[in-house]
Structure 1
């Protein structure tokens, strides 16, 4: 069954087989054991399906064979259509990759990626799977828009030092809006300042923006990550430092965090080569999931 608002895919019932369910069990129950799904608590499991798929996984119909997270997931996959099953499996795979990167653990399932991709390919009818919901973020921005964004950045550079910080935050908000990333203004919570937020696909990112004369070190990175950890479990962060990051700071910050980083050179490369911002962020997120590293340069992610 699909949540209201989602069309049915190819057939009302998925074509997942018993052997597929065994593979899925292997992929999701290695953290806490049978009946569990990765590192999800009951509330986080519910929130995950609500935010990613607009599905109420707590609906009694998904507990027909038992109320554990694993049994509810099985029931969903056996009763939904193939398109919904693919979306659910892709979302769970992303969370799984993020968990492995964060924990630093080796994948306990042999050939997990290849076996998972084979299942997704079969459920997708052999076509490359797509993320749910049409993504306006993927649409290219025209050359005139890139020209304006570059001009806006030059205006920030021309300001007096004390004015650049606030102007840089405004520039980033305008850039996110140009790429339809649902940017929000900076806001203040009790005891902390958040420089803004934006949405990439189905994920919400908090923003930290710095225009300093010196590269950012480990203290600033840990402070921002601390803000992320105080929010919902699925919250992520983007730290944009015009002056870059110290190598020692990145090394001390470690791997497997919920933060990705950009520096001024990244912004220059992206704008000069007219690479849409969502493409840059998606590539950074994927490589962070694969390597655990929060900072990989645009020139390395998009070699010419």
Structure 2
């Protein structure tokens, strides 16, 4: 494990812009993708959230707990990303002798001969999994829910949604509060917090449930949004009566089933629904309209 002095951590905070919980230009999602693709590390794993879930706190936790080869790989990858940003934006260096001090820090924590050592997937507890396999398993679970009793199905649907959101590293928060078959929860997508209400009942939902949920979202912070999930969808009359330009987007069980079948990340589905709502004002856009062949 690398031994950082307090002055070292202050320097890294400055170099990588880790004040206020931020890190460089990363959003939660792009940082997750960066660590997954560049380093084969699941930075969203709970092991890195011991001191908090902000981007900066997760990286500090990794740097202070991982083996030295991994720490060096992470720092070098972050430095390359920082330099790429500066080259693309033509930004001037604002930290005195930043590169020299960074290289000296690497040298001080790196043991002799470690520079050429390659460590593959150093966190056995946080492997990068095959997305196709995850989608297939979730699709099977969704299909099996149809045969459950209403009460059991509600609890199983709660667990399913948590795993569905986690498959896109959306930082779903539990426990969901269950009232009948209504599940409330939240997740993080980009810089937005989404409140979730989900219903699995036999008929499509009407305008009353949409207005009720929108009222809950409207009472929260200005940046909060809502995802209303109705397994049977919503009636056309209800969607029309609900109106346009709302802070809520809708998703049906059919949307989820088709996304899993086509192995489309649920985060991408939500992002396209939000873009469609921004462009047209429509609360619901079917998956087939969002992902046309």
TM-score range, shorter chain: 0.5 to 0.7
Indicate which of 125, 146, 166 corresponds to 1:157: 146
In the alignment, which residue of structure 1 is the partner of 2:188? 199
Deviations 1:233-262 (A, max 9, x none): 110010110011000100010001111110
Quick one: distance in 2 between partners of 1:181 and 1:141? 17
Q: How many residues align?
A: 182
Contact 1:185–1:195 (8 Å) recurs in 2? no
1:187 to 1:157, Cα distance in 2 relative to 1, 3 A:
closer
Q: Report how far residue 170 of structure 1 moved.
A: 1.8
In the alignment, which residue of structure 1 is the partner of 2:232? 243
Is the aligned partner of 1:220 residue 2:209? yes
Indicate which of 218, 221, 236 corresponds to 1:232: 221
In the alignment, which residue of structure 2 is the partner of 1:42? none
Quick one: distance in 1 between partners of 2:236 and 2:186? 26
In the alignment, which residue of structure 2 is the partner of 1:283? 272
Contact 1:194–1:206 (8 Å) recurs in 2? no
Quick one: distance in 1 between partners of 2:131 and 2:18? 35
Unmatched runs of 5 consecutive residues or more in structure 2: 1-13, 26-54, 57-84, 91-127
Q: Helix, strand or coil: the match of 1:195? A: strand
TM-score for the superposition, normalised by structure 1: 0.53
In the alignment, which residue of structure 2 is the partner of 1:175? 164
In the alignment, which residue of structure 2 is the partner of 1:296? 285
Quick one: distance in 1 between partners of 2:197 and 2:171? 16
In the alignment, which residue of structure 1 is the partner of 2:244? 255
Contact 1:186–1:194 (8 Å) recurs in 2? no
Q: Report how far residue 155 of structure 1 moved.
A: 2.5
Unmatched runs of 5 consecutive residues or more in structure 1: 9-52, 55-82, 85-122, 126-138
Indicate which of 135, 140, 149 corresponds to 1:146: 135
Indicate which of 196, 205, 208 corresponds to 2:197: 208
Q: Helix, strand or coil: the match of 1:169? A: helix
Q: Report how far residue 161 of structure 1 moved.
A: 2.6
Q: Report how far residue 7 of structure 1 moved.
A: 4.5
Quick one: distance in 2 between partners of 1:212 and 1:194? 12
Please report the RMSD computed on the Cα atoms of aligned residues, expressed in angstroms.
3.2
Quick one: distance in 1 between partners of 2:241 and 2:185? 26
Matches within 5 A, 1:16-27: none
Q: Report how far residue 165 of structure 1 moved.
A: 2.3
Larger Rg: 2
Quick one: distance in 1 between partners of 2:221 and 2:250? 20
TM-score for the superposition, normalised by structure 2: 0.55
Quick one: distance in 2 between partners of 1:6 and 1:147? 34
